[in-house]
Amino acid sequence: MGNHTADSETAGPAVNGVQSVDRAVSVLEILAQRGEAGVSEVAAEIEVHKSTAFRLLGALEARGLVDQTAERGKYRLGFGIVRLAGAVTGRLDITQEGRPVCERLSEEIGETVNIAVLQEHFAVNLCQVHGPGAVGTHNWVGQLTPVYATSSGKILLAHLPAEERAAVLATCEVEKLTPRTPTAGTRLEKDLAEARERGYAVTLEEFEIGLHALAAPIRSRDGEVIAALSASGPAYRFTEGRIHEVAPLLVRGAEEISRRMGHLG
């Protein structure tokens, strides 16, 4: 882990608090990776004294996030993790139901396909499949991307009620990421109206120079837009013409995932 240092008794309580949280998360990651580990292993991995590792494991055990194996002395993740994970199972279902569709579309379109959901004022990618022609292997999974400059973000924004959309945009720090980023509210509203009308959103070098993208809405059982299905690729190949050509494929793919999520529309 490298960036952890031995305990500093001189640091203030706020610093120690943040450091403890960082270390606790590191402990959970170690156990997730190894299956189980002893106090000495954990201490060595996060570069702290054994007594500190013991206290961290004890605190996590008290909250049910880790538990001790039968022979004691070894720790593993506890079922408290399942309780926390339960809060995102709806999102996880989307990736489970959507992955086969993403895999098929990435082959058919030849570009990288993602599923993203709205988190505060970001579009966060949950699932990614690289197409056969993918240039580089950038991993967008878990990345927070700006709603105003990405095709997924635009689709998610376009289908929010006007008041909610205004609230989300009010918390955004709109940056001119490229010369083509829509920083004016009127330009963005025009794009969103177009996305609603067409059934898909397009971004042409608005998030990154040389990157074009297309996104369509995924709906829940009750018809609410809960996620966006996108395809993205290099501008020289995934041209505006090509985008409009493959848009019906992507829209149908999003509709298929929606049906898998229980939408009957």
Task: Band the pLDDT of 134: cuts 50, 70, 90.
Answer: low
Termini Cα distance of the chain: 49
Task: Band the pLDDT of 19: cuts 50, 70, 90.
Answer: confident
* Tens digits of residue pLDDT in 242-265: 999 999 999 999 999 999 888 776
| pTM of model > 0.95 | no
Looking at 27, 57, 82, which one is the last position of a domain?
82
Single out the residue of 135, 98, 94, 99 nearest to residue 232, CA to CA. 135
CB 46 within 8 A of CB 28: no
Provide the CATH number for the domain around residue 22: 1.10.10.10
pLDDT at residue 100 in the model: 93
166/94 Cα distance (integer angstroms)? 26
109/250 Cα distance (integer angstroms)? 9
Which of 13-27, 133-147, 150-164 holds the top average pLDDT? Answer: 150-164
145/157 Cα distance (integer angstroms)? 13
Q: Tell whether 7 is covered by a domain.
A: no
Please count the structural domains in the chain: 2
Rounded to 5°, angle at Cα 40 from 36 and 43: 95
Single out the residue of 188, 184, 168, 185 nearest to residue 121, CA to CA. 168
Domain identity same for 23 and 129? no
Q: Which domain holds residue 98?
A: 90-261
Phi, psi of 173 (to 5 degrees): -100, 95
Looking at 53, 82, 111, which one is the last position of a domain?
82
